[in-house]
Structure 1
Amino acid sequence: MASCTLDEASPLKLTPQLCDLHPSDEGTEELMQVQLTRFMCGSLVVGFTSNHLIADGKATGTFLLACGQATCGLTDYPVPIHDRAVVKPHDPFSIEFDHLGKEYMEKRLVKEVPWEEMVSQVRVEKTQFSPDVLAKLKAPATVRCPSGRDYSTFESLIFHLWQKVTQAHGMGEEETSQLCILINVRTHVVPPIAHGYFGNMVLWVFPRATVRELLSQPLDRVAEVVHAAIAQVNDRYARSFVDFDVGVERDGRWSELVATGDLDSTVCCPNLEANSRLRIPFEENGFWEWGA
């Protein structure tokens, strides 16, 4: 029970206090935890913490949607798909690509980042881009779009932000910047995996470019760099990763490796991480009579 009203707590502001409304993930072994916080005004906040290795954003969003619909007495909520045969490894293994150095790194090669010292310097900002601004970004980005379709609004915004954030960092021209993007593999394999599949079906891509390349070239050239990295994640690549992953499990090497996407250096200067939550059905969710 909180000793204030919801308005006084201001949970919608992006501050560290927002974490107090979620179960702590420190020293816990549970795969999922739920925390209910009742405020003096009667409002109730449902805090949800889960292990990201078990389910990605798409699967977790669908799970929460089903939970909300079930509490409302609905019976047509989405049923998760658990058929692991869709991602079974080859027999024998067929590891066509080098996944060590991309999805994983050896722990002995990881450089420590003074993250605790940097947290105090982190500032959270929320920015809105008008439809007109987004349209102006999208037009030059798609000049040489090779896929037969325009880049999405999210993709076009990524291209622009990578350029501008790199410029703001004020680095030397020959320094390299890396962009980390999460890819939903469900639509990249053949045949595509059903959206209701419950599990973690994301891979990272890491397009790289020098500061000179990012700042001296037009937006459509930056778009080509990112698009080429995303295009590499096809059916062959995804299934090669499954074989690599199972091979590491078989050989008992997990203690030697660390996921590159979890490294602090992935998001620290001069690098950048960009994710989209647009396809996660948050706006459809609601619990009991409390509403969305």
Structure 2
Amino acid sequence: MALAPPTSLMFKVQRCKPELVAPAKPTPYEFKQLSDIDDQEGLRFQIPTIHFYKHDSSILKEIRDPVKVIREALAQTLVFYYPFAGRLREGPGRKLVVECTGEGVMFIEANADIMLEQFGDVLHPPFPCLEELLFDVPGSGGILNCPLLLIQVTRLKCGGFIFAVRLNHTMSDGAGLVQFMMAMGEMARGACAPSILPVWQRHLLQARDPTQVTCTHREYDDMASTVVVPIPLNDDMAHRTIFFGSTEVTALRRFMPHHLKQCSTFELLIACLWRCRTIALLTNPQEEVRVLCIVNARDKFNPPLPNGYYGNVILFSVALTTAGKLCKNPLGYAVELLKKAKNNVTEEYIRSVIDLMMIKGRPHFYGVGSFVVSNVTRAGFREVDFGWGKPFYGGPAKGEVGAIPGVSGFYIPSKNSKGENGIVVPIALPVQAMERFQNQLDILLAEGPFSHL
């Protein structure tokens, strides 16, 4: 089921002059290397998230200004997470290093002439007027020599507020960002220190000596020799957010043979979207297509990484086949590929990726014929509490991120207009491809016999 965003919603935002918020106390001046996962080309971009908070008098014991509270909490939190207040520099071999200068992160105070209720009962990307709620301060959006975080707090007429963040992805993954925001929430609620202290130790994910690529990594195939664009882009891109509730999931499970009946909902839905998307793009049957599922690999290490490690610990599990096989085989074929790909991600696989980064010069993941999906259902974005309770929505601010338009997507927990819990997945495709995509999806979700699909 496609969900329509309130794109017609217009409102004015008045912003104060952007400022730099530095740590509340002096912090060490030093240089800290990123890990060999952090500084790969595919993570050298900004990733935005957004949180919407209601005004709830039953939670707030006194009137508090969210801008003041969050600004002070940010300064206090940066004492512990002081690398965020520094700037990235690039050294020999494209190695990224944080110069811990204590300059601070970019902070914007704003007011909007709108109430939270006007956004509707269901919130999901794309959000109306996002560029006003997370303003791109000129000169702040680079990877090197720029603030590593940009934060905007926007007061709403109803007493609620919107908290938006833009993160330099080389510094942290979603889990690391949530850890930082949870620490800010604790400080905002009166704590003197975060309950989970940050751990840098990026050397734990550095390349081995000697390096040894022991696994096959089709997610980093060489794209240098191809001139094929990842997706047939044009200026007229369509954006649609697909909701999957229990009805839709049950319909798709009817395709699964007995041995796949217990596959995860994530595997089932991504297999469905991958197949529909490939058909919609009229992909050459002989062309290779792949899904790159972003895996939080923190539980793959023995001994475990230290609690509090906030760097990138994400890998791609890659399912690969030809477009012809994907589209002609039953849906269970794609699910089998996804399950096998997930099982391939072991600690040795991770070490092999790290070594490949060093050998190949920190390459970008393969984008031609790829569909990149990140599951944020367990990332914790909806748990961040600054004293106003949990957010009405917390998660990705955009349906897609990264340098390659139309390739990435998120798997986001949400509700529909009836209040039913489910998953939303934002999709971006050229207009005509989007219509073919919707037709294919409708066929899969239709009632009746499914033997021909």
TM-score range, shorter chain: 0.7 to 0.9
Q: 1:158 Cα shift?
A: 0.8
Instruction: For 1:275, give the aligned amino acid.
Output: S
Instruction: For 2:133, give the aligned amino acid.
Output: L
1: distance between equivalents of 2:283 and 2:216?
Answer: 30
Task: Assess if the C-alpha contact under 8 Å between 1:34 and 1:49 holds in 2.
Answer: yes
Q: 1:246 Cα shift?
A: 4.1
Q: 1:229 aligns with which of 341, 345, 365?
A: 341
Identity of aligned residues (%): 23
2:179 is aligned with 1:62: yes
Counterpart secondary structure, 1:190: coil
Greater shift in the superposed pair: 6-15 or 236-245: 6-15
1:138-190 Cα shifts (integer Å, max 9, x gaps):
46446345xxx932111111112212222333344333322221111212333
2:113 is aligned with 1:4: yes
1: distance between equivalents of 2:149 and 2:232?
Answer: 26
Counterpart secondary structure, 1:125: strand
TM-score by length of 2: 0.52
2: distance between equivalents of 1:214 and 1:114?
Answer: 18
Counterpart secondary structure, 2:355: helix
Instruction: For 1:272, give the aligned amino acid.
Output: F
Aligned to 1:96: 214
Q: 1:211 Cα shift?
A: 2.5
Aligned to 2:104: none
Task: Assess if the C-alpha contact under 8 Å between 1:68 and 1:287 holds in 2.
Answer: yes
2:240 is aligned with 1:132: no
Counterpart secondary structure, 1:224: helix
Task: Assess if the C-alpha contact under 8 Å between 2:199 and 2:310 holds in 1.
Answer: yes
Aligned length: 273
Q: 1:209 Cα shift?
A: 1.9
Instruction: For 2:161, give the aligned amino acid.
Output: L
Cα distance change, pair 23–115 in 1 and its aligned pair in 2 (3 A) = farther
2: distance between equivalents of 1:23 and 1:105?
Answer: 35
Task: Assess if the C-alpha contact under 8 Å between 2:230 and 2:370 holds in 1.
Answer: no
Q: 1:281 aligns with which of 380, 397, 404?
A: 380
Task: Assess if the C-alpha contact under 8 Å between 1:186 and 1:195 holds in 2.
Answer: no
2: distance between equivalents of 1:188 and 1:47?
Answer: 31
Task: Assess if the C-alpha contact under 8 Å between 1:143 and 1:220 holds in 2.
Answer: no
Q: CA RMSD in A?
A: 3.3
1:32-63 Cα shifts (integer Å, max 9, x gaps):
12122234444322221111111111111222
Structure with more of its chain in helix, by fraction: 1
Task: Assess if the C-alpha contact under 8 Å between 1:59 and 1:197 holds in 2.
Answer: yes
1:109-137 Cα shifts (integer Å, max 9, x gaps):
4647499963x422222222221331343
Task: Assess if the C-alpha contact under 8 Å between 2:297 and 2:313 holds in 1.
Answer: yes
Cα distance change, pair 153–5 in 1 and its aligned pair in 2 (3 A) = same
Cα distance change, pair 291–234 in 1 and its aligned pair in 2 (3 A) = closer
Aligned to 1:187: 299
Q: 1:212 Cα shift?
A: 2.3
Aligned to 1:167: 279
2:188 is aligned with 1:71: yes
Cα distance change, pair 136–191 in 1 and its aligned pair in 2 (3 A) = farther
1: distance between equivalents of 2:256 and 2:204?
Answer: 35
- Structure 1: gaps spanning 5 or more residues: none
Aligned to 2:322: 210
Counterpart secondary structure, 1:244: helix
Instruction: For 1:205, give the aligned amino acid.
Output: S
Greater shift in the superposed pair: 227-236 or 79-88: 79-88
Cα distance change, pair 132–104 in 1 and its aligned pair in 2 (3 A) = same
Task: Assess if the C-alpha contact under 8 Å between 1:59 and 1:200 holds in 2.
Answer: yes
Cα distance change, pair 56–76 in 1 and its aligned pair in 2 (3 A) = closer
Task: Assess if the C-alpha contact under 8 Å between 2:202 and 2:311 holds in 1.
Answer: no
Cα distance change, pair 94–124 in 1 and its aligned pair in 2 (3 A) = same
- Structure 2: gaps spanning 5 or more residues: 1-13, 15-110, 392-453
Aligned to 2:258: 143
Counterpart secondary structure, 2:152: strand
Counterpart secondary structure, 1:260: coil
Instruction: For 2:382, give the aligned amino acid.
Output: E
2: distance between equivalents of 1:144 and 1:163?
Answer: 20
Q: 2:201 aligns with which of 64, 80, 83?
A: 83
